[in-house]
Amino acid sequence: MPQPAPRKARRTAPLLTVTGDMLMAVDLTPRGRNRPPGPYRRLFRRPGTRAFTLGNLIARLPMGMFSVSAVVMIAGARGSYALAGAVTATGLGATALVAPWTARLVDRYGQARVAVPATLFAALGSLALLLCVRYDAPAWTLFAAYAATATTPNTGGMSRARWAHLLKDDAESLHTANSFEQAADELCFMLGPVLAAFLCGTFFPEAGTLIAVVFLVTGVLAFAAQRSTEPPPRSRTADPAGTTAASPLRAPGMPALLAVCLAMGAVFGSTEVVTLAFADAQGHRTAAGAMLALQAAGSCAAGLWYGRLRLSGPAEYRYPWCIAAMTTLLTLPLLAASLTGSLVLLSVALLISGMATAPTMITNMALVQQRTPDGRLNEGMTLTVTALLGGIACGSALGGWLAEHASPAAGYGLPITAATVALLVALAAVP
């Protein structure tokens, strides 16, 4: 009996693509029994990584809950969105001032020793705000209570610092870890506002703040309990001469990165406000949350995909390409809003435009880790977050003004302008 012809071997080599100075390898090998595990499975095979990641995700979820919960709670009790916005803006400004100082203490004394008391103090501030609103305290107490929450540690930065410590000799796995962390950021900021709105609307106005406090304290305590993966504090890793690492602000290349983050924050803040204004003008204010969630979902999916790529070459050269892609895709919401006025098409445009966000921020964080002096990593990443928050505040204000004095559709030109500024700064900073 004739034997059947042997089946052709399927391709097992990776597909290589070259874009400018960026070389990427995408493994298209079909998964089989003998195929090695994917990059994310390999990442979480390391002892202790699953435990600290789970605790950090629980602690990070409230970051997207607190501001929405505060606005709903204050506006519902006092009948003033202006007061609610002023209180949250005060908290944002206080965080911008206090967060780098908290991160510096984390680097110097260790994550567990600083993050736990800082979190408990911030939790007391949130509970004080809840009680002040509940029992009709004077307006100034709302500002004081919410300003006390500024000691909340940068949980995302502490998680990235652990990965940087564990994977300091494995650049490919560190890229995967940074991609996962960015996707986790997008997921938390996508689910947090939705969860907060649901809790405040379904149960009572203070429910969102109360549950967020429980999540924050529980998550930070679980995260801090994982001491085996905690990077050593600066005092234990100082050189024999006792010299102190320079401030991240003085590190070569860091000012340009922070300037880009400021412009990127303006992209995020203006997009959020303009989308809210556009949906409200169409008579579908409640749809704005789902539209912004789609944008975050696109970024989350792109971040997980980006983490599976094997990249070579300096990140400095990939960075402008990522920002250029983001700038280009941001034209889609402007076109959808100005030419069609359709919420459905605008939602699709936001979904697609969000896909360039995560790769850009992943590359940004990789550059921050490279340029931050040893022993100051938490401070360096927190300065990045501070710059983003400052940009978000400016973008929100400018986006609201433009949507009111021009039109919501015209407001989508502001994210493109801010992204263009970020691109010019990034190009000027390339060595």
The string of DSSP codes covering 83-151 is HHHHHHHHHHHHHHHHHHHHHHHHHHH-HHHHHHHHHHHHHHHHHHHHHHHHTT--HHHHHHHHHGGGG
Indicate the burial class of 341 (C-beta count within 10 angstroms; 0-12, 13-18, 19 or more).
middle
For the segment 238-259, the average pLDDT, to the nearest whole number, is: 70
Cβ–Cβ < 8 Å for 253, 384: no
> 94 and 164 share a domain?
yes
Highest-pLDDT range among 27-31, 65-69, 156-160, 168-172: 156-160
pLDDT at 76 over 80: yes
Q: What is the predicted pLDDT for the residue at 33?
A: 55
Q: Which domain CATH number covers 327?
A: 1.20.1250.20
In a domain, 27, yes or no: no
Render pLDDT for 54-68 as a digit per residue (tens, 0 to 9).
999 999 999 878 887
Q: Do residues 58 and 202 both lie within one domain?
A: yes
Q: Mark which of 207, 232, 257 sits at the end of a domain.
A: 232
Domain count, the chain: 2
What confidence tens digit (pLDDT) does each residue in 256-278 have?
Answer: 999 999 999 889 888 888 887 88
Residues 256 and 224 in one domain: no
Q: Are residues 173 and 310 in the same domain?
A: no
| Same domain membership, residue 379 and residue 284 | yes
User: For residues 427 and 431, what is the distance between their CA atoms, to the nearest angstrom?
Assistant: 9
Q: In terms of domains, do 428 and 287 share one?
A: yes
- Residue 71: which residues within 8 A CB-CB, separation 6 or more? 81, 84, 85, 88
Give pLDDT tens digits for 290-306.
Answer: 788 888 888 888 888 98
Task: Say what the pLDDT of residue 56 is.
Answer: 93
Structure tokens at 137: 């305290």
The whole-angstrom separation of Cα 226 and Cα 212 is 22
One domain for residues 209 and 261: no
Strand partners for 24:
17, 311
**Within a domain: 155:** yes
The average pLDDT across 171-200 equals 84
Residue among 396, 410, 415 nearest 337 (CA):
410
Q: Same domain for 220 and 257? A: no
Does residue 10 form part of some domain?
no
Q: Which domain does 128 fall in, by range?
A: 49-232
Q: What does the buried/exposed string (b/e) look like for 286-302 if buried means 16 or more CB atoms within 10 Å of the residue's CB?
A: ebbbebbbbbbbbbbbb
| Average pLDDT of the segment spanning 189-218 | 87
Q: How confident is the model at residue 246 (pLDDT cuts 50, 70, 90)?
A: low
Same domain, 287 and 333: yes
What pLDDT is recorded for position 240?
45
Tokens matching residue 337: 């809003």
Residue 194 lies in a domain: yes
Q: Minimal CA–CA distance to 333: which of 275, 279, 289, 395?
A: 275
Asked if 256 and 165 sit in the same domain, the reply is: no
427 beta partners: none
Looking at 183, 207, 232, which one is the last position of a domain? 232
Rounded to 5, what percent of the chain is helix, strand, coil?
75, 5, 20
Would the CA dihedral through 356, 383, 258, 233 be positive or negative?
A: negative
Give yes or no: residues 281 and 428 share one domain.
Answer: yes
Task: Spell out the alpha helix ranges (H) of 313-405.
Answer: 315-329, 331-335, 343-353, 357-371, 377-405
Residue 343 lies in a domain: yes
8 Å CB contact between 385 and 154: yes
Which pLDDT score, from 0 to 100, does residue 209 have? 93
Mark out the alpha helices in 135-253 (DSSP H runs): 139-147, 155-166, 171-202, 207-224, 234-237
Residue 186 lies in a domain: yes
Flag the least confident range among 236-245, 344-353, 412-421. 236-245
Q: Is residue 276 within 8 Å of 399, Cβ to Cβ? A: no
Tokens of 115: 């993050």
Distance CA 422, CA 431 (A): 16
Query: Same domain for 269 and 128?
Result: no
Task: Tell me how far apart the terminal alpha carbons of the chain are, to the nearest angstrom.
Answer: 68
* 9-29 confidence digits (pLDDT tens): 444 444 434 343 433 444 444
**Domain termination site, one of 206, 232, 258:** 232
Identify whether 323 is part of a domain: yes
Indicate the pTM of the whole model. 0.76
What pLDDT, on the 0 to 100 scale, is given for residue 25?
A: 42
Give percent above pLDDT 90 in the chain. 34
- Say which residue the tokens 């971040």 belong to: 303
d(CA 312, CA 305): 16
Question: Which tens digit of pLDDT belongs to each residue from 107-157?
Answer: 889 999 999 999 999 999 999 999 999 999 999 999 999 999 999 998 988
Q: Give the residue among 307, 398, 66, 365 at the shortest CA–CA distance from 200.
A: 66
Tokens of 155: 């949980």
pLDDT at 310: 78
**Burial label, 247 (beta-carbon count in 10 A; 0-12, 13-18, 19+):** middle
